[in-house]
């Protein structure tokens, strides 16, 4: 019997403020417009803001799943933009680091959804804390967002370094956001590539997207609406659309074919083995 195997990928960053969540939301929007069934998981569990960018106030979030026994179906929020979200909480210290039991709860809950979706997008927090590393290990592909700022570059390298040296992850998709021009984007990608090539043997980087600095993005944030819904003809929206089309090729090219349960169960097994 055949069944759907969703593509699971993270949108992540070494540094905050690079527009990671905006990218996640608009990729979800584009993929859903292509007829794909998309679920966006807000995995910045203590400082969630997907709901803020969408101008919604879900009754339940992942806090209720972990601490109050709320059913995942009640936490799942269907947006008017064509994709679903699993919202997280903001300002809740208990969500900063998930226990193994909570990870198992999420695994079991997500297992019931895998046949209903084509893409699971995991919008991680920024940096190299435990939750960020956990979700980046539990995916098939990682889309690492950075900007031309020097601190963004160094923090992106730091995330790659930890993932490579501590966990053996050596393949990353790169998206350069808020760039003034293509030459700048290529330069920042080259610097990251050279650093990885020099200090981290065997790391593979692929430039998946270059998103221009676009004042319409700020307007979309203020209006709490995805950029590509509010300004579909904007330059940034067009480039996010191109990145979304590339993402649709990942499923057939991924070397890590499998379902949500396979990835997350494997990761929990690795955690328990280390412990």
In sequence order, what DSSP letters do the residues of 198-217 get, joined into one string? HHSTT-EEEEEEEEE--HHH
Q: What is the pLDDT of residue 85?
A: 97
CB 156 within 8 A of CB 14: yes
Q: What is the pLDDT of residue 152?
A: 98
The pairs formed by 1-4 with CB atoms below 8 angstroms and a separation of 24 or more are: 3/115, 4/114, 4/115, 4/116, 4/117, 4/118
CB 187 within 8 A of CB 157: no
What is the pTM assigned to this prediction? Answer: 0.92
Q: What is the pLDDT of residue 272?
A: 55
With a cut of 70, list the residues of the chain below it in pLDDT: 1-4, 91-96, 251-275
Q: What is the pLDDT of residue 259?
A: 54
CB 49 within 8 A of CB 21: yes
Q: What is the pLDDT of residue 233?
A: 98
Q: What is the pLDDT of residue 275?
A: 45
User: Kind and range of the H or E element at 40?
Assistant: strand 38-43
Q: What is the pLDDT of residue 123?
A: 96
Q: What is the pLDDT of residue 47?
A: 81
Q: Rounded CA gap, 264 and 270, in Å? A: 10
The first and second tokens of residue 136, run together, are 């980046």
Q: What is the pLDDT of residue 114?
A: 77
CA 5 to chain centre: 18
- Mark 113-151 as b/e (b = at least 16 C-beta within 10 Å): bbeebbbbbbbbbbbbeebbbbbbbbbbbbbbbbbbeee
């Amino acid at each position: 019997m055949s069944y759907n195997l969703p593509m699971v990928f993270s949108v992540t960053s070494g540094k905050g403020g690079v527009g990671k969540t905006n990218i996640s939301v608009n990729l979800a929007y584009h993929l859903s417009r292509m007829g794909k069934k998309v679920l966006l998981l807000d995995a910045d569990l203590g400082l969630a803001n997907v709901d803020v960018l969408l101008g919604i106030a879900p009754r339940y979030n992942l806090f209720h799943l972990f601490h109050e026994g709320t059913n995942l179906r009640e936490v799942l929020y269907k947006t008017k933009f064509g994709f679903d979200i699993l919202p997280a909480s903001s300002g809740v210290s208990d969500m900063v680091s998930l226990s193994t039991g909570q990870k198992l709860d999420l695994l079991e809950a997500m297992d019931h959804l895998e046949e209903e979706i084509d893409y699971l997008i995991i919008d991680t927090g920024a940096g190299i804390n435990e939750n960020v590393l956990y979700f980046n290990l539990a995916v098939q592909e990682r889309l690492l967002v950075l900007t031309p700022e020097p601190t963004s570059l160094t923090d992106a390298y730091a995330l790659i370094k930890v993932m490579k040296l501590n966990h053996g992850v050596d393949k990353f998709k790169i998206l350069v956001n808020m760039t003034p021009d293509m030459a700048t984007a290529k330069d920042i990608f080259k610097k990251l590539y050279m650093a990885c090539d020099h200090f981290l043997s065997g790391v593979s980087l692929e430039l998946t997207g270059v998103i221009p600095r676009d004042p319409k993005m700020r307007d979309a944030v203020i209006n709490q609406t995805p950029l590509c819904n509010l300004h579909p003809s904007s330059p940034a929206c067009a480039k996010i659309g191109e990145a979304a089309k590339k993402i649709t090729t990942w499923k057939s090219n991924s070397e890590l074919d499998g379902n949500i349960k396979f990835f997350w169960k494997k990761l929990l097994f690795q955690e328990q083995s280390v412990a």
